[in-house]
Structure 1
């Protein structure tokens, strides 16, 4: 007897976890915003003592705070998902990845959004407010090129660091630890054959390696797609950087799976699971970011221009254009059969034709009329109906009648 867990109880636990996820997201956003403000102040406005040293303080602060806060939020998300008690592993992974994606998106995109929508449009007003309270700032021009520089940093520097930490650092660490273990532990002498010893040594190496998680690579792919779809209007070479990174990433991931992780157990799947929904949400959100950034910085070299009414109108037009285009493309793709589907239809029709022809010759019925057109729609029709004499008969009904007649003729002969 399978244990039963009430869906109402699961929904109650989900609702109880919403404030926790929102609190973690707000905490992470607060840390990112604080680091961003300190970075802008020290690199742009501060002109005092030890500036050459203090400009590196935001990098240190970012490295010490944000990864730890993000890791804590992800661990809380895992506990919440376990507490929600889903029926299947697929459902558990789906809801866990949705929570994790929130924190990954904040870590990756929030600083760019702050630059585009807070710092550049409202930076002078914020500075004037602080100056009214007696805080002195050095004169600095707020240029939209800062937005492009920040995106370049994420697309080039961050990707290079990710490649090093995923591929090179684990390989060096593993070889260093293997050398220490080999020097510290004497080699055991046994009566096993050389083949068995080599096999056991290979198994021990596999056990010592970390478990490969495909969701980490999916997360990187979705985040990179977000950079391209959300912010390509800022820097047109974003797509080219993503292409080069993917070329390198494919080979580095193959090396990571082969040498730096346990051999993964293959599992059958028909999609990328929850990440497909995240791709759709990112694409929908890009209809807002692209339209708003184009409007704010169109034709401007010294800063953005703001008109709330026109901004909302541009967002409305962009979103509806995206939804309409998405619907149109979806209908077009649904109406065009894929090559694999056509091959399956052809094979099914060939099998039905040969089978029904043999049955027709056996019990004295007419064969299949092969004069129907060979188009795609004709192929579909030929797979659904056949000609018996001068009449068009549904294949399912015909197969049933032929089967009954074949059984009766067999009984008569026996």
Structure 2
């Protein structure tokens, strides 16, 4: 039998470096076990992702976790000291309690900017909190401050800051920015508007677990904004409006408590997909929820949660309205409990142009003191013909 030939390792170093840069960083590190030459190759990757969770394991003692965290920080410092690539396209650092490792964090950020990073992600949030607080709203404070020299790094195209505070007046330098994600801290509406007005190329805005005391009102038209994600944020305790004016918005995702907003109004002419993942709450806004989906452009893909399926039919007048929804692709997150069946029927009767239907089964969620708005026979729902629905 002829010996196997390693054709991959025979490729030029520059080509292997490009290949390594296209795979996830964790997989790139694993290539170092192939041979001594691959140790140098993986160090040349231009996409770097340091994640504390890859070293620190759940279920360990406090002392063991501290030792694993120390090993992680030592690995990070050793890696950036031996990096052989002159350009870094993406740099990501996920680290809890950054205040206890300020020197390492600053060295990482300096390393990234000196190597001309285009995509910068700094995540200092506690990874365990997202699992425990699904609907509770807590005003998280940022645990780290973005170094001042980053504001002079004008070639940034993507910026993701989680629990990392920034100076909003300095954002005017990021003219090349196309994507920004902010989370786990206070983000003032003035900062968002500064980004949208100065970063003319900004196409994607994502907010996760953010909070401020203002109403979410993006009144001026934002023609380049294509994607907007608002994930369990809290804007103003007495806020009455959530208004976005982005006529070219194609993707809208909203997850959170609907009692934060009396009116959710997203103005777009070309919406392709809208995801409404509304959590359980006490107030019921059937008319406003229906108005939101009624105004979406023709052909849009719509995703609704089981809260939506329960609440929309409570608007009694809606049940008698022959209004149609311009939806071609519909996804319903449901447990197929009796209190959701009327909402399912309601949507199916109004999506007359529907081409694709997806049912995502999940655990039941029933809000307090729920009652069916009309007499509804669950048995008839399951036995009647499709035309009746």
Give TM-score scaled by structure 2 length: 0.27
Query: Going by fraction, where is strand more abundant, 1 or 2?
Result: 2
Instruction: Give the number of the structure whose alpha-carbon radius of gyration is greater.
Output: 1
